[in-house]
Amino acid sequence: SARLQTRIVGRELVCFEETDSTNLQALRLGEQGATEGTVLVAESQRGGKGRLGRHWLSPSGVNLYTSIILRPRIPPWDAPQLTFLSAVAVARAVQQVCALPARVKWPNDILINGRKVAGLLNELSAETDAVHFVVLGIGLNINMRADQIPASLRYPATSLAIEMDRPLSRVEVACAVYRQLDDLYHLYLNEGFDPIRLAWEACFDLVGEKVRVESGDRTLSGIVQGIDTDGALLVAAAGTVERVLAGDVVPVG
Ligand code: BTN
């Protein structure tokens, strides 16, 4: 699009004053054949979706709630790669606009100074061996004030305004996210997952560090090696490399 100066992301733009969830709307539009690069954005969401069936608090007028429809020709087992792509895009946009040290937390949170500033929820429409489309869902806290963040959250949260001590232009931040996504998506289409993996690991503090992974019934201790092509965290422990698909990763010592 002309002012955005992107090639794919933002070819079509769908804006809502209020909606249930931009991800749900994107899934509906995707099924109806919406073009690749369609961006949905809402001022507020009544039913913002978080990971693991959680709710994503979506107050009006302060943050970015957006979903992007992509149609890469990939098998469904490669789809998790796009979560890492959107994580790098958001981290880079934050670094670019705010010069803040945005870092990634495996599998898909964006942190500033150890506090969550953005969450990602990608959803998939696919057959056994082909992806129809992917919805990249991004919730980025931009101008939320500290008193708007519920004390009941399971993790410490923040916003760009809290970290910068001043409000930001949401349009500027959103455009930076879309441009970074567009660049990284071209890189991904041309060169595959390798450069995305490297870029993600460059925003990740735990490569080479000792961690404890708690996933339901089992606890594992080892040294983080990086991520696999399916998004699994690789942890070297007791002479083998374990693939971790879910769990909480805690640095040790
Ligand atoms: C998480 O649990 O960390 C993921 C949160 C993802 C929230 C975004 S807001 C825009 C998009 N629409 C949704 O309903 N969810 C995602």
Ligand 1 geometric centre to CA of 253 (Å): 32
Report how far apart, in Å, the C-alpha atoms of 144 and of each of 76, 161, 163, 236 are.
Answer: 35, 7, 11, 39
pLDDT tens digits for range 45-78: 999 999 989 999 999 999 999 999 999 999 999 9
Give the residue ranges of the annotated binding site for biotin. 21-23, 45, 116
pLDDT at 186: 98
What count of other Cβ atoms lies within 10 Å of the Cβ of residue 117? 28
Look at the domain 210-251 and name its fold.
Answer: SH3 type barrels. (2.30.30)
Ligand 1 geometric centre to CA of 120 (Å): 6
- The whole-number average pLDDT for the span 171-194 is 98
- The whole-number average pLDDT for the span 82-86 is 97
Whether the pTM exceeds 0.80: the reply is: yes
Q: Is the pLDDT of residue 118 over 90?
A: yes
pLDDT at 183: 98
Q: Is the pLDDT of residue 182 over 60?
A: yes
> Is residue 30 within 8 Å of residue 58, measured between CB atoms?
no
- The whole-number average pLDDT for the span 142-162 is 93
β-pairing verdict for 39-45 and 13-19: parallel
The DSSP secondary structure of 30-82, one letter per residue, reads HHTTPPTT-EEEEEEESS-B-GGG-B----TTTSEEEEEEE-----GGGTTHH
For the four alpha carbons of 124, 125, 131 and 135, in that order, the dihedral sign comes to: negative
At residue 102, φ and ψ (nearest 5 deg) are -75, 130
Which of 18, 24, 121 is the best mutation target for the ligand 1 pocket, counting ligand atoms within 8 Å of the beta carbon and taking the most? 121
pLDDT at 154: 82
Q: Is the pLDDT of residue 14 over 70?
A: yes
Short-list 45, 54, 1, CA closest to 23:
45
* CA separation for the pair 11, 2 (Å, rounded): 9
Q: Is the pLDDT of residue 181 over 70?
A: yes
* CA separation for the pair 162, 154 (Å, rounded): 19
* CA separation for the pair 48, 91 (Å, rounded): 21
Pocket of ligand 1 (CB under 6 A): 21-23, 45, 48-51, 54, 56, 65-67, 109, 119-121, 137-139
Ligand 1 geometric centre to CA of 74 (Å): 23
The DSSP secondary structure of 187-242, one letter per residue, reads HHHHH-SHHHHHHHHHTBS-TT-EEEEEETTEEEEEEEEEE-TTSPEEEEETTEEE
Ligand 1 geometric centre to CA of 139 (Å): 5
Domain boundaries, the chain: 13-202, 210-251
pLDDT at 138: 98
Superfamily of domain 13-202: Bira Bifunctional Protein; Domain 2 (3.30.930.10)
User: Which residues fall within 8 angstroms of residue 252, CB to CB, at 6 or more apart?
Assistant: 210, 211, 212, 221
pLDDT at 174: 98
Atom 15 of ligand 1: nearest residue by CA position: 49
Q: Band of the pLDDT at 153, cuts 50, 70, 90?
A: confident
The ligand 1 atom nearest the CA atom of 118: 3
pLDDT at 143: 98
Q: Band of the pLDDT at 253, cuts 50, 70, 90?
A: confident
- The whole-number average pLDDT for the span 187-194 is 98
Ligand 1 geometric centre to CA of 69 (Å): 14
Q: What is the mean pLDDT of the chain?
A: 95
